[in-house]
Structure 1
Amino acid sequence: MTDPRYPAKPRPGDRVAVLSPSAGLPELFPQPYELGLRRLREEFGLEPVEYPTTRKMGATPRERAADLHAAFADPEIKAVIASIGGDDQITLLPHLDADLLRANPKPFFGYSDNTNLLLHLRSLGLVAYHGGSVMVELGRPGAMNPLTAESLRAALFTSGEYELTAAGASGDVNGPWDDPRTFDAEPDLEPAGGWAWHNADRVVEGDGWGGNLEILSWLLMADRAVRPVEEYAGGVLFLETSEDMPSARDVYWILRNMGERGLLRQFPAFLMGRAKSWSFEKRFDAEERERYRREQREAVLRALGEYAPDTMAVFDVDLGHTDPQIVIPVGGRIRVDGPARRIFVTY
């Protein structure tokens, strides 16, 4: 596979597309969405441009694909940012025009269900960006998390190497978006224990590949946006789990099956996101959250021990469904320095 291309970056004052390639949740929850748009304008200096399905729940995959094509084909649009995720973006992939996307590269930002598009763009030879949704990170109550804002700004506007910073505090518990009081103050954070390292005896530098674990499992089942495993040799795998909070058993099963496919052993380094350990359906207390995160880590280590025992792993990296959230380049370079306990990405 050829080296991926970094699309040209926007500049302050440029127009950027805001799309809903998964769910049109801005229709149901306008407050975090409008807040995210305002911050794009006022704090990042960008002009968001909406499309017919951006605020439309129930849009068909073909309609959402048409908006994506329109945004990529428009020379005035300098980046594409997802409003939020969802659960059916995989149905969008058959409607995408690979030649159009490849001929009009744009930085694309999103995560969760947007793992579908991120890995699709990577399969076309383009670098994309895992992180930075309008409704969640830009629309965070009170203010953007400073670490999130710093990473997103660097990924949007700059090139070159960026060092990740381990968060001193992180948050799991969210307020309901349909209650205006949610937006009166920032979410509560609790002390974070930093990163945990495994097999940290070398330096690994390679292209990043991965995303949300649950969505990746669907892509593997459907055999979409995944290249032959040998093409990932030497890369850096990164994974994270969502507010669906899969059990440790399910996490192990997914990784086991990736191991059986020969995927895990291709990656000499692996970043695992800090597990999302609270949802409205599973309102865990502090002790339950810690147990959930510990059991997930043990499941990952079990799979690595069986299928990739030499892989260097870093746990509790603030990527994915985390607060703060660091943007990770899909297809971009990642350098994991085990002896120095440092991680760098190239935006």
Structure 2
Amino acid sequence: MQPVQAPFPATRHRRTRASAALRALTQENMLSPADFIWPVFVRDGENVLEEIPSMPGVHRRSVDKVVEAAREAASLGIPAICLFPYTAPSLKTKDCAEAWNPENLSNRATRAIKEAVPELAVMTDVALDPYNIDGQDGFVRESDGYVVNDETVEALVKQALSQAAAGADIIGPSDMMDGRIGAIRAALEAEGHRNVSLLSYSAKYASAFYGPFRDAVGASGALKGDKTTYQMNPANSDEALRLVARDLQEGADMVMVKPGMPYLDICRRVKDAFGAPTYAYQVSGEYAMLAGAARNGWLDGDRVMMESLMAFKRAGCDGVLTYFAPAAARLLNG
């Protein structure tokens, strides 16, 4: 119920906007560098820093450069970095075995970060698309192109265990297969990884906003078919709540809505319904629109960056995965 307000002029809402001091005193939501998880792309090589054309200001980094990024994140007060590998085409196969190779890019980067910056949390991605010659998050059935569920879950468990053994603090299953959270949680417990957190991509939509990300990880052009049989229909909202409920019941510690800005209504519904730690991913397409417009002088880059990030807090998110993390943290730190 809204409080009864005295009529104008006894009530003038502009009074509390009259100065910076009053605006600060009455601000309802706050941003801090501690709200951010910084997604970083890792590739093979040494001393490599290559900009991704469709994501202005975002780079693929060799492991040594990822460690530099980790040190930067820690110095800015960003609590976590999330790794996404750019896998060489020669390592992409039907069986996706590189996904659980102890020496794959993600695992090598995880170990390097934990050795150099042990206080920084490392988040990893569980899905087969970086390693799959078919470009899908799961195994593709040859007869009809359908992405199979249960066989994929078995592979995801092996991938998650490999990442936990490398030192990952947070594992992020982004595949959207049914039952994978329960299977991964049971395997982590059985192998003694009791303190590894699961941040489940519980409500991940079959979105067109992921295009630049596929460029970043080298998956553009590799995808056979689409992902609509396992990622969510953008028209659905109630389904997201059912998926979040299931993942929490199966052992997720935190839940994710992806993409972010077009799905702020889902973020609010999830937070209100469950009260669980709730995150959103400000995905590559969202970033590219804002960063590209700012680079062309069409938008004030700093202002739209901060406004977009505040929207996640206003929608109930506890934090956000965002490529803006270091730039936003520098502004917030003054």
Fold-level match, TM-score > 0.5? no
TM-score (structure 2 length as normaliser): 0.33
Higher Cα Rg, which structure: 2
Higher helix proportion: 2
